[in-house]
Structure 1
Amino acid sequence: MFFIGIFGIQNKVKELKEFTDVCCSCGKYSRMKLLYEYNCFHIFFLPLFKWGRKYFLEARCCRRVFEVPDNYIDELLEADTVDFSRLTEINMPYTLCPNCRNYVDSGYKFCPNCGSKLKL
């Protein structure tokens, strides 16, 4: 998060949908979360502009992350299953805080939301 007086730029990650399906990487029956990441310019914490939109699918069983292409988002939001052949596996630059369950930059040693120590 970056502030200049009353202005700020923030990177945000939101969970859009959850799937229950077989993971293509490890073969386990698990839950997967569809994540939406974007940058936001705000004044007094009111968002004005959003840019850099990306969508990710995170598997809870093996913690692998897949990038979702823009042409597959609408289908995925309406579907109950995931077509892994249309996804690309990536390394996510975020980790999940074990205490407050918020996504935090993987370079941090402590969570900026709750202050607990992160696993490295």
Structure 2
Amino acid sequence: MFFIMGVSQGQKKLNFDQLIVCGRCGRYGHLEVYMVYSYLSLFFIPVLKWGRRYYVRTTCCNASVELDAELGRKIQRGEITSLPENIIPDSPAMLQSGRKRCASCGFETEEDYQFCPKCGREL
């Protein structure tokens, strides 16, 4: 007799969606919450899950931040329906260095341009 078993990582999108104006890129986007975990499978059936971590991600610029485990569990149970809009922090290096980022294409520059040299949109 032999056993087919393995350890792998899984990802599950939780039932959470919130419309925001992203503080990072300035566009409209949605906050989505994901749970990432490791699991043991026996004969291709997940048997045991461990190491659950929760992340929030924006759909506009794909910025993501890890959430506190307790907050993630509350979102998973449906107890929390909205998060603060500043949950995705601005890049501190950009704010301190005076760099500008185009909200449309993501081009970064230190020059004092009024329009993006890559796509032509206003900075």
Change (3 A) 1:33 1:39: same
List, as ranges, runs of 4+ consecutive aligned residues in structure 1 with deviation greater than 3 Å: 75-80, 84-89
Report the TM-score, using the length of structure 2 for normalisation. Answer: 0.58
- The question of whether the paired residues in 1 share the 8 Å contact of 2:40 and 2:49 is answered with yes
Tell me the percent identity: 26
Q: Read off the aligned partner of 2:63 and give its amino acid letter.
A: R
Which deviates more, 74-83 or 12-21?
Answer: 74-83
Change (3 A) 1:69 1:86: farther
Change (3 A) 1:49 1:75: closer
1:69 Cα deviation (Å)? Answer: 0.4
Measured in 2, the distance between the counterparts of 1:57 and 1:29 equals 15
SS in 1 for 2:70: helix
Q: Does the alignment pair 1:42 with 2:41? A: yes
- The question of whether the paired residues in 1 share the 8 Å contact of 2:64 and 2:88 is answered with no
Q: Which has the higher helix share?
A: 2
SS in 2 for 1:82: coil
SS in 1 for 2:24: coil
Aligned pairs, number:
86
Which protein, 1 or 2, shows the higher relative CO under an 8 Å CA cutoff with sep ≥ 6?
2
Measured in 1, the distance between the counterparts of 2:20 and 2:67 equals 16
Partner of 2:83: 82
Write out per-residue CA displacement over residues 66-103 of structure 1, whole angstroms, 9 at most, x where no aligned residue. Answer: 111023221584344322556679xxxxxxxxxxxxxx
Measured in 2, the distance between the counterparts of 1:27 and 1:80 equals 22
Matches within 5 A, 1:3-82: 6-16=4-14, 17-73=16-72, 74=74, 77-82=78-83
What stretches of structure 2 of length at least 5 have no aligned partner? Answer: 91-123
SS in 2 for 1:71: helix
RMSD: 2.7
Change (3 A) 1:59 1:25: same
Change (3 A) 1:59 1:83: same
